[in-house]
Amino acid sequence: MIRPKMPSGNFTPRVFSRRPQVAAFAAALFLAATFWPAGGAQAAANDAEAGTIFEKFIAAQNAHDADAMKAMLLNSPGTLLFARNIETRGRDEVAERFKTYYEGTWHLEPDMSKFRVAVISNEIMQILVPIVFTRGLPGKPPQQNTFLISQTYVQDADGWHVASILPVANTELK
């Protein structure tokens, strides 16, 4: 085994000062104390904003208002509705698909007590909420099913828009 050569004579290792570490820790605590409440307020504002967007979405759906629905969708070829095992992309195509749903029975009842928001960035939020769908083809009796809906909202120069809509059969939020 090779050992490093140590200087001869009395050798005392230098003890590093902890003052810079203490100062950095104090500065971090100060910043956390200063900005932590704002983070909570921002989260509440995002939750409220996402709730408002979603309530407009539900109102347009239940009114069978295809124009209001289309205006809420992100104007992008990537806008996505994946439902009933069918992928529909693009603002116009998604709006047209909803129009076909509106020809029959179509009513949504979300459980807002389980409404959840995840803020991904300043321009992107995602929501999850269970919804009871009452739906039926024209002339057929309606049926009710509960789905967990995931929607992604994107903010652009014109405001917030729905970028994706994904119903999931498992409705248990934990």
Tokens 């083809």 found at: 137
* Among 73, 171, 160, 80, CA closest to 129: 171
Tokens 């704002």 found at: 38
pLDDT at 36 over 50: no
Q: What pLDDT is recorded for position 140?
A: 92
Q: Walk me through the domains of the chain, giving residue ranges and CATH numbers.
A: 21-168 (3.10.450.50)
pLDDT at 20 over 70: no
Q: What pLDDT is recorded for position 22?
A: 44
C-alpha pair distances (Å), 101 with each of 4, 94, 114, 135, 153: 78, 11, 25, 8, 22
Q: How far apart are CA 125 and CA 71, in angstroms?
A: 18
Q: How far apart are CA 67 and CA 96, in angstroms?
A: 10
**Across all residues in the chain, what is the average pLDDT?**
81
Residues in the chain: 174
* Among 147, 163, 161, 171, CA closest to 83: 147
The secondary structure element, H or E, covering residue 120 is strand 116-121
Q: What pLDDT is recorded for position 47?
A: 79
Q: What pLDDT is recorded for position 92?
A: 97
Give mean pLDDT, residues 58-81. Answer: 96
pLDDT at 32 over 90: no
pLDDT at 171 over 80: no
Give mean pLDDT, residues 21-28. Answer: 46
Question: Residue 54 has which token pair?
Answer: 């979603």
- In this structure, the number of other CB atoms found within 10 A of the CB of residue 131 comes to 20
**φ, ψ of residue 60 in degrees (nearest 5):** -65, -40
For residue 3, name the pLDDT band (cuts at 50, 70, 90): low
Q: How far apart are CA 58 and CA 78, in angstroms?
A: 22
pLDDT at 27 over 50: no
Q: pLDDT digit string (tens) for 79-100? A: 999 998 999 999 999 999 999 9
Q: pLDDT digit string (tens) for 104-154? A: 999 999 999 999 999 999 899 999 999 999 999 999 999 999 999 999 999
pLDDT at 50 over 50: yes
Helix ranges, 73-124 (H): 91-102
